[in-house]
Copies of this chain bind each other. A is one copy, B any other.
Amino acid sequence: MEIENNNERDDEFYSNSNYHSNQELYPIGINSPFENLSEELSLKVGDRKFLFICSPLAINGPISRSGLLLKTTKWVSQVTGEISPFLDKFQRETKEKNIEKNQEIFDNLLFEQEIIFQNEMNWAKYLGIYYILLPTPIFVGDEWRVINMNYARMISNSITKINCDCSIQIPLVENLGNETKTDENRAYSTWCLIRDACNSNPHLSVALELTGSRVSESFIEKWMIEPVKYLVLPFGIFSKNKKSKPFLKKELEEIVLKFMVHNTHLIIKIGNNDVRNLDKKLIEEEALNRFHYLQYLTTKLPTLSRDEKIDLEYSNDLQLPLQPLMDNLESEIYEVFEEDTTKYSQYEEAIYQALLDFKSQVDKVFVIMVVGAGRGPLVQNAINASQRASCKTSIYAIEKNPQAVITLQNRKWKGEQSVKVIHTDMRKWNPPEKADIIVSELLGSFGDNELSPECLDGAQNLLTENGISIPCKYTSYLVPISSTTLWSQINNKSTTKSFETPYVVKLSRYIELSTPQECFEFIHPIPKSKIREDNKHNWKYKSLTFDLKPGFDLHGFAGYFKAFLYGNVTLSTNPSDKTIGMFSWFPIFFPLKTPIKNSSFISTDFWRVGSSNRIWYEWTVSSPVSLPIHNPNGRSTWIGL
């Protein structure tokens, strides 16, 4: 009955609010300061309001609850369990008993706390609660470091034993009570300590509680690369406008928006003081007002294109690069890439300009060969460019994938030009006539990482003496980055291979620590004299030194590329001059086995080397500390020739 009543009242609020009611709700939870759980759950009202409720797990504490209150499916999906603030209790006891200096009694109390912690964790596990909120560490007193280290051990033990997802509550700025504030930020550094102690376990995250204190932008930047799963908004942090509706002051709103971009879940936190000062109905009303305000904030988020929304889904997903030379791609993959109209219009422009430059040769029929034609997008570009340039062209589509060849053979081309489809490996074909232009799209996220150099060297035989290649040049770029979230995923696999793999990844929650620098460069066609039978002319070694933005750990290197198609027509994934609207390539990420802590510079070494049938990368850091060479002999990852 009460639920229905609430429903009506909520709907009123809902329709009054400023956010678009027909869009998807932003994920927001709320904590439960009341004793009767089913009553609290009334705040949730199905899927239309709060996504989840945070409920204390304490079974021996003041709030005691029966597991029968809810069905298991609800415990799992809608309840985040809160471990009681046992560390505070422990600190009070050590203070009262003045036993900080007695190791034996201190140990006893320490391990007593562990029993409380384990009991609550076991209770959560029994109920089937998967999401856990852990209490805030200690920031004051003589023993705060020791208490936190022991707390870290408890978390480390639980997280390696119990299947759960723990978020530790950390205030944005810690309350140091009467203690003198030092330069360090204890809350942030304590999180780093606990994170490292727990071996960057990806099941450990942060519930970051907003505090009123002013913080610098660079400090927020530090938190942006950490796994902040929840942003906690205390009731009292909201201001009220003239109509008595809650809102956040500009500085706080900006912080909240920064996290909302990454889909960080929000928690509205009703404090014990709020429960004491306000009656229950008022609290519910106020909670919903805050909820509506936060939903309204979604209108201030940057509007994403359809492609960007798709990209978002892949945020920090680690993918292995394609092996289009060794494997045959599937139709769906071609389909996705063919949708990148920006990229193909650049190709068309490049072919068009090349034909214009060739055009002085009157009446000549220009031979264009699309090598690695796939399902034919570049072939259509070549046809379009020929028509725009009013050139006669003879167009070949060369493709090794027998399935794609079937598509090519049956395809109707716009402009009705006939296309000669050749099923062969571009490196082995002996053509009836030579090409003026070969066009290819063999680049990977790191430029040469899908073996474009080797393929195009092989395809040079198809080219006339003055023929050109589109692209004619490409350069890879590297930049050191910091991303705790990314590194912890890789570390969690805990295999040598996981750190010796370059990943294709849509980077998010990361920060570039320097300016990208050029790594490897390839030019096509190259003088025949430089081509070596053993392919060693395509082996490269680059040693780069970067100055680093201070205050961050280095986790690895992001790789980009820039390709010159023809003249000034380029494709670039390097953020400094990225081709706008192009989405075919995510960056590549070369991880480091050991993060480099807080260094002011870094020297790194990258190799592109191989054997008779493989190419691979090796990389390391040689200064100021030296790391093992990653992927020696291509033992973990390689690309098949």
Contact = CB atoms under 8 A, between A and B. Distances in A.
Interface string A101-123: 00100011011000000000000
A160 B635 contact: yes
A107 B541 contact: yes
Contacts of A145: 543, 603, 622
A536 B149 CA distance: 18
A603 B609 CA distance: 42
A633 interface: yes
Contact of A197 (B161, B193, B622): B622
A270 interface: no
Interface string A215-234: 00000000000000000000
Given A199-B629, A632-B156, A622 B539 contact: no
Contact of A628 (B197, B541, B609, B629): B197
B197 A539 contact: no
A542 B150 CA distance: 10
A111 B541 CA distance: 9
A605 interface: yes
B199 A146 contact: no
Interface in A108-167: 108, 110-111, 145-146, 149-150, 152-153, 156-157, 160-161
Interface string A310-327: 000000000000000000
A193 B107 CA distance: 43
A375 B605 CA distance: 61
A253 interface: no
A145 B544 CA distance: 12
Contact of A160 (B157, B160, B494, B633): B633
Contacts of A625: 196, 597
A622 B494 CA distance: 21
A76 interface: no
A569 interface: no
A627 B540 CA distance: 35
A537 interface: yes
Interface residues of A, number: 48
A543 B103 CA distance: 11
Contacts of A70: none
A200 B629 CA distance: 11
Contacts of A537: 108
B622 A149 contact: yes
A186 to B, nearest CB: 13
Interface in A50-96: none
Nearest to A523: B104
A632 B193 contact: no
Contacts of A633: 157, 160-161
Interface in A457-516: 494, 496
A303 B18 CA distance: 90
A603 B197 CA distance: 13
A573 interface: no
A193 B603 CA distance: 12
A199 B152 contact: no
A198 interface: yes
Copies of this chain present in the complex amount to 2
B150 A541 contact: yes
Interface in A230-283: none
A199 B633 CA distance: 14
B149 A632 contact: no
A536 B108 contact: yes
Contacts of A152: 629
A125 B594 CA distance: 33
A230 B345 CA distance: 65
A543 B146 contact: yes
A620 interface: yes
Contacts of A200: 628
A140 to B, nearest CB: 17
Nearest to A607: B153
B199 A149 contact: no
A533 to B, nearest CB: 12
A108 B314 CA distance: 39
A622 to B, nearest CB: 5
A27 B232 CA distance: 69
A149 B193 contact: no
A198 B633 CA distance: 12
A632 B541 contact: no
A627 B160 contact: no
A108 B541 CA distance: 10
A618 B609 CA distance: 42
B536 A628 contact: no
Contacts of A196: 625-628
A539 B103 CA distance: 11
A580 interface: no
Contacts of A193: 622, 626
Contacts of A626: 192-193, 196-197
A594 B625 CA distance: 12
Contacts of A153: 605, 607, 618, 629, 632
B107 A629 contact: no
A398 B590 CA distance: 61
Query: Lowest 7 CB-CB distances: which A-B pairs, in order?
Result: A199-B628, A196-B626, A156-B632, A156-B629, A111-B536, A193-B626, A197-B629
Interface of A: 103, 107-108, 110-111, 145-146, 149-150, 152-153, 156-157, 160-161, 192-193, 196-200, 494, 496, 536-537, 539-543, 594, 597, 603, 605, 607, 609, 618, 620, 622, 625-629, 632-633, 635
Given A145-B622, A150-B541, A160-B635, 6 more contacts: A110-B541, A149-B620, A157-B633, A161-B633, A193-B626, A196-B625
9 contacts: A107-B540, A111-B609, A149-B622, A153-B618, A160-B632, A160-B633, A196-B625, A197-B622, A197-B626
